[in-house]
Amino acid sequence: MASVILFLTVTGLFFGLVSAGVADNQIDTFGKQSDGSCDLPDTLLKEIQGYQPIVKKIVDKIVNGEYAGRTWDSLAELVDTFGARVAGSEQLEKTIDYVIDKMQADGLENVHTENASVPHWVRGYESAELVKPFRKNLPLLGLGSSIGTPRGGIIAEVLAVESFKEFETIPAEQVQGKIVVFSPAWESYGRTVVYRSQAASVASRKGAVAALVRSITPFSIGSPHTGQQHYQDDVKKIPVACITVEDAQMLLRKYRRGDKMEIHLEMEDRPMEPVVSRNTIGELVGTTFTNTSVVVVSGHLDSWDVGVGAMDDGGGAVISWKALTYLKAMGLRPRRTIRAILWTGEEEGLYGGAAYKDAHKTQEQKEFNFFFESDIGTFEPRGLDFVGNADAECIFREIVKLMAPLNATEFETPTDGGPDISHWTSRGFPGASLLNKNEKYFWFHHSAGDTMAVEDPKNLDKCVALWAAAAYVVADLSVSMPKDVMP
């Protein structure tokens, strides 16, 4: 809750600093009252409510009409044709070329790519085996940026702990030369993922030769999960991988019983020089504001190198592209431009978004009106997760109510609005993330389970309908979304 309070305070400080020079219709301050209620001008309220028939029409066409099922088919064709799309891979660049062709065939406008430098890390042969006291294969996935082992691997004794706190109590001389297994209990992704990102650095400081981490998931069927990790600047780099929940728990139990264990770990993973990838962009150009006040809808096209990234984030990328395809096909062109951006290099640290932010920095106040991002699943939609100032919130609350035909009127706030768009939303631009019934998201996340089997055609239809409808309304409204942008 500390970060929530901080955010509202910062927003308050900058309230009223609506930037000059925006070639769009701005409105006077109204926003939230001291009692938390909104005081929207009656004309604006009526205007928003007036979009209900258009929203209904969009939903009808996409969920029940001629576009029903097409989004799943498009996503399936994409992931079946190219498979995983990790940053630095030929498959990602081929996918980008394919999407560009398809966007053009769909009639999207200003279809193009913009370069972004992304990390390049290559998974090689990976193997972990418990060799004492009995032999057992330990399925594993090296973590993004991890170095490999020497050829032939290393064999070392195991030291297992449940937490960093427990590890702190262990003298360095007991850790020296060991493989450290971290088997933390699952709390939430946000609270547990620190073990994935920091285990190597924490273990290395006490002389460990490698770190193995319980996969960051609440549920497992023997699958390891990958993800990015970061070496702190001043530590010796050691190999790091996630093993399965089941094996991590087993190793911890054995260690606590006093069993002496050795693991043979071999990883040919290797970090390479960064490469140039591309963000993939297509538009539905607005009738009135063609180069300003753009409404961005986005997801990332890159994935990890296991599974096929149908969920993370093929679904988010494809609904962002297809929302424009269907609006165009329906002849619905709003006043402002809607721009689909399919980010690259998200998984390694939001590189596509960062490059795009830098390239568009000078004009950003004028250029951007609102940012949508879908990167936490495209299961059955629940509503939208808003970030922005109090005035924008009051408007957006009314827009979310229009999603009643999808039974997706839940409004949540504030969040960071999604990882890639946080380059803007963290500085005061308004944005929203797709709320959906993603309770099982981390079951599949960054694992071989991230495939089309996770995606449901009807749910994808509903997600793209919500995406198209919400973006259309924001882009067509008589006023631009209020914002208080920090430099």
Q: How far is the CB of 134 from its own copies (least distance, A)?
A: 5
Closest approach of its own copies to the CB of residue 226, in Å: 12
Name the minimum Å distance from CB 125 to its own copies: 11
* Residue placing its CB nearer to its own copies in the complex, 141 or 199: 141
**What residues are paired with 117 via a beta bridge?**
276
Nearest to 459 by CA among 67, 52, 69, 73: 69
Q: What is the nearest approach in angstroms of its own copies to the Cβ of residue 469?
A: 29
What is the side-by-side order of every strand in the sheet holding 210-214? 136-137, 126-132, 262-267, 154-161, 179-182, 210-214, 240-243, 140-142
Considering beta carbons, is residue 254 or 401 the nearer one to its own copies?
254
Q: How far is the CB of 181 from its own copies (least distance, A)?
A: 14
| Alpha carbons 477 and 394: distance in angstroms, whole number | 14
Q: Which residues contact 274 (CB under 8 A, 6 or more apart)?
A: 117, 118, 119, 120
Q: Would residue 166 show up in a list of annotated catalytic residues for this protein?
A: no
| Residues forming a β-bridge with 161 | 182
- 126, 346, 373, 398: the catalytic one is 346
The residue type of 280 is T
Q: Is the Cβ–Cβ distance between 413 and 271 less than 8 Å?
A: no
* Token pair in block for residue 185: 């209990």
Give the whole-angstrom CA distance, residue 95 versus residue 82: 6
Q: What is the dihedral of CA 451, 457, 459, 462, to 10 degrees?
A: 130
> Amino acid identity of 371?
F
Q: Which residues bind its own copies (CB under 8 A)?
A: 76-77, 79-84, 91, 133-136, 139, 220-223, 244-247, 249-250, 253-254, 257, 259, 306-308, 443-444, 447-453
* Helix/strand/coil percent split, the chain, to 5: 35, 25, 40
Residue 312 vs 385, nearer CB to its own copies: 312
Residue 105 or 221: the one with the smaller Cβ distance to its own copies is: 221
State the minimum distance, in angstroms, from the CB of residue 354 to its own copies: 29
- Residues marked active site are found at 346
